[in-house]
């Protein structure tokens, strides 16, 4: 199954706080379910900036130490991709906005992330998504 690595706390926000936009510098034509992989890397500065942004959206995020990293944590459906034209507080200017729907958590799957879209073996996903 296709997967996307997202740094914390953004991965958490997609699955648990209904973040409906993933901001990327590149467009995508894929429209379907995709695994959300919580990247292993997250600096304290990145976390603090994200925490402040999430608070401005009315979302309280968990402490960095409690966020899963280096694991697939959920599945979301990519339904569209537009350049800076969505009416969502999650969208950033001058970015492609991947519109997301139907977030679902899965039993965490330890996995090494990659840049871009990558494949996670279906047999790993079927064990936890069933």
On the question of a cis peptide bond just before residue 9, with omega within 30 degrees of 0, the verdict is: yes
In a domain, 124, yes or no: no
Domain CATH for 72: 2.30.130.30
Q: Name the residue with tokens 């990327």.
A: 24
Residues 51 and 9: their CA atoms lie apart, in Å, by 8
Residues 64 and 10: their CA atoms lie apart, in Å, by 11
Instruction: Using the predicted structure, report yes or no on whether residue 80 has a pLDDT greater than 60.
Output: yes
In a domain, 17, yes or no: yes
In a domain, 27, yes or no: yes
Range of the domain at 108: 2-113
Number of domains, the chain: 1
Asked whether the beta carbons of 47 and 64 are under 8 A apart, the reply is yes
In a domain, 120, yes or no: no
pLDDT more than 70, % of the chain: 94
Residue pLDDT, tens place only, 12-60: 999 999 888 888 989 999 999 999 999 998 888 999 998 998 888 888 9
User: What's the pTM?
Assistant: 0.88
């Amino acid at each position: 199954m296709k997967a996307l690595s997202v740094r914390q706390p953004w991965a958490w926000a997609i699955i648990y706080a209904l973040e409906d936009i993933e901001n990327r510098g590149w467009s995508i034509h894929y429209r379907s379910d995709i695994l959300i992989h919580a990247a292993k890397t997250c600096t304290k500065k990145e976390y603090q900036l994200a925490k402040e942004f999430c608070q401005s959206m009315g979302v309280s995020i968990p402490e960095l130490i409690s966020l899963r990293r280096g694991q697939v944590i959920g599945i979301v459906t990519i339904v569209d991709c537009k350049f800076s034209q969505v009416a969502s507080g999650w969208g950033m200017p001058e970015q492609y906005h991947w519109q997301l729907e139907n977030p679902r958590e899965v039993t965490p799957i330890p996995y090494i992330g990659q840049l871009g879209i990558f494949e996670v073996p279906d047999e790993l996903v079927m064990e936890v998504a069933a």
